[in-house]
Structure 1
């Protein structure tokens, strides 16, 4: 068993293991003043539930540090005048049918001055003291899935919500982190999950993997997307029309086709 020390402070849990410190901080949603500040800083209305002070961070003795927080993620939300075009063009029929049933305005009025789905391809904030510690694309490295499948004891596990919005009762957009530390490695999943009812599903995943004793950190970013109708059609008949699977991001992810994927590697100054 790896030598490790668990961390437990007010709102913070984590672990020190193999020259690494992993921290997860959870607290309440932003207060009204913090919301005003965040809205002014970002220039867009922020999600209904924003845990702007929550974070997940990993730090190595070499000076490498990667952090995951809500506001940097929201700063990457498209604010161009064409930010809603992808949904409007690719899923126009679904949007028209949904809005017609609700006796709302025509689809051409869907466009807003920001991407109201809060879709973000944020993959972490690099806070390394050594500026040479950056991720670079690779074709020779990959996450060791077989290692992660092994029944290793879990030294530390945590889940954290960074933001969530019900999209005016049209679905949900949520950004979460999960971290799992084993004696042999650690694994992080940052997931943006989008469901627009009767329209589409979209998932942006960032996976971070490090095997202790090596000097590399691997980051894999992927995009999955499909129409709501197609995804719903994949519910097994044995479920008898039970739509609860559509609320399960893990099940939805397993059904969505991968649109794009990139693997990056960062080499630590010291193993």
Structure 2
């Protein structure tokens, strides 16, 4: 029986994951499969084959790699999807599968920025409770609960999908929106809603950095959660670098 084409698994859901799939789908001698976590309702589907849902930990992922004849994995998950990164490292080590981490560079504070860098949401909530009266929570639906006890702060909570259930905030408005957001639009939002503090995580990228530039213009502090630790694996900062790595790791595919 002829051996199947080598498979590439993209652990995706990010802009970079979608772009990598689009760049490689159709390359001769390569099967491209993207995996989405399934935490967002009605997700945008990437080019090529796609699976949605978890693998069942590192053991389940290792079994999938063997059964699907995956020769290389690109972890293009969100910078804060750290558990998937550790699972991928363990599964690839167990199966001898090549692994690359594709991750956009983190945001860095510049002149005029007023950042409070925190390790977790408990620390973030403590700072918000001290400095904020009208705060923007630019977070995911699983990340806002730590701020609900702050009865004296009015929150504007922006996310893609509504939380279920919604934590019991004394003062909160839910704003469902998906980026990208321009700097001017963010400036108008912060000004009109009298936002005095922004809470976000260091996702990096250009789709949602407009709020940081707007905060700089308005002199608004930002409570920024730093990225969690990741395994020490080969790393690419751009899709072009990832494409080159894939072609090197799977030398049989067409250039």
Q: Normalized against structure 1, the TM-score is what?
A: 0.23
Which has a greater percent of strand? 1
Which has a greater percent of helix? 2
Say which structure, 1 or 2, has more relative contact order (CA 8 Å, 6+ apart).
Answer: 2
